[in-house]
A and B are shown apart, each in its own frame.
Chain A
Amino acid sequence: MKHWAQIEERGIIWGMQALLKVYLLFGRKVLQLFLYPVVSYYWLINRKGRQASLQYLQRASAYLPDNRIQTGLYGSYQHFICFANAIIDKLAAWSGALSLQDVEFHGRGAIRQHIEKGQGVLILGSHLGNLEISRVMAYLGKKVTVNVLVHTKNAEKFNTLLNRYAGSGTMNLIQISEINAATAMMLMDKIEAGELVVITADRLPASGQSRVARVDFLGKAAAFPQGPFILASLLKCPVYTLFCLKQHGKQTIYFEHFSDGLWFPRKGRDAVIQACVQNFANRLQQYCLQEPLQWFNFYDFWQVGDE
């Protein structure tokens, strides 16, 4: 099976640039005209992605009231269309078309307090919903810098793209393939400078050699990376979760306190890490069931859990 990192990067920069131009020139409706056929085609030819979607919907539906989501092929198609709309929202966020009024915040006060005290915060995100919306996090305080850690090799190109369309340099994408001494030091500097560091905690890094925790997600064991949590324990800073969901047509950002500071003692370390990752998976599940179609991990999320 191809790793998700390989699946996603095909010409994505070029495509995104083209789509962004269309969006800026003609707006959302016209972009949908472009995007729906593309996504429909993709849905037809991408058997693996379709199967992953069907499997996910099946698992999620067990936790949802009847008729909340469709589970068959039609449900899977809707799932992909939902992804198409998320791409449009992403472009809107990048182009600066998304303003503070378009976004509803929950739990913003706590983050603000940390920022005002000059305290750096580590934020755990996911591929549920649209993390790009967090671009508006820049409005959280006067001069907060948001650093988003990404696995993609194209981080620098993305940065250029971002900065071309949105003037302020308050959001940095930082490419990280593994957490080593050097990257930990660099992030420590950022936390000590009172900046925000955002890292997704639901996908394994592409290197494939990382520490994983197998925890329950939607009723079955799935592999989550330990890296983000270990990083949090090293940085010794407050930890929050971040979920950006589109609800009732409005982008809604949820910040929620996760820990005042993670600590993994030497004795029984693995068990403590395991419990911590399970906490995160539980929270992810809870938000996931709020907006089940906004789950954008189109690969067999539980595959590694089978081993």
Chain B
Amino acid sequence: MDSKENSMSSLENELKQLIIDSLDLEDMSIDDIDSHEPLFNEGLGLDSIDALELGLAIRKKYNVRIDAEKDDVEKIFASVAALAEFIKSERH
């Protein structure tokens, strides 16, 4: 694994922890969340309130903003991997 992939997977783990903490998923651990599984509905089963909650937590932690006008919100929140990709691209 090269260093780029490494930093990506550590960001993904960080995000999983953030999801667990901010959404109060107390009985889950980061190993229970697959980076590529859908976060909403059929996957983790999060709902629209969770999406808002998560959006605000991400903004607070990474200082990235999601702009509903220009960003594809559904795509960003599709999975942990997609979320990590978005945060990485916004931070550079």
Q: Which residues of A contact B (CB under 8 A)?
A: 179-185, 188, 230, 233-234, 264-266, 269
Contacts and interface: CB of A to CB of B under 8 A. Distances in A.
Contact of B52 (A234, A265, A266, A269): A234
B8 interface: no
Given A188-B59, A266-B23, A180 B68 contact: yes
Contact of A181 (B23, B24, B25, B51): B51
A181 B51 CA distance: 7
B69 interface: yes
B49 A182 contact: no
Given A184-B52, A234-B56, A265 B24 contact: yes
B66 A185 contact: yes
Given A266-B23, A266-B24, A180 B73 contact: yes
Contacts of A234: 49, 52-53, 56
Contacts of A182: 65-69, 73
B53 A185 contact: no
Contacts of B53: 234
A78 to B, nearest CB: 42
B38 interface: no
Contacts of B73: 180-182
B49 A181 contact: no
B24 A184 contact: no
B68 to A, nearest CB: 4
Nearest to B59: A185
A265 B23 CA distance: 9
Interface of B: 23-25, 49, 51-53, 55-56, 59, 65-69, 73
A188 B56 contact: yes
Consensus secondary structure, chain A interface: helix
Contacts, number: 41
A264 B25 CA distance: 13
Nearest to B65: A185
Interface centre among A182, A183, A265 (most CB of B within 10 A): A182
B86 to A, nearest CB: 12
A207 B49 CA distance: 17
Nearest to A179: B52
A147 B55 CA distance: 22
B24 A180 contact: no
Interface centre among B51, B52, B56 (most CB of A within 10 A): B52
A146 B53 CA distance: 24
Nearest to A231: B52
Contacts of B69: 182
Nearest to A234: B52
Contacts of A181: 51-52, 55-56, 66, 68, 73
21 contacts: A179-B52, A180-B68, A181-B51, A181-B55, A181-B56, A181-B66, A181-B68, A182-B67, A182-B68, A182-B73, A184-B55, A184-B56, A185-B55, A185-B59, A185-B66, A188-B59, A230-B49, A230-B52, A234-B56, A264-B49, A266-B23
B46 to A, nearest CB: 9
A185 to B, nearest CB: 5
A91 to B, nearest CB: 34
Contacts of B59: 185, 188
Contacts of B68: 180-183
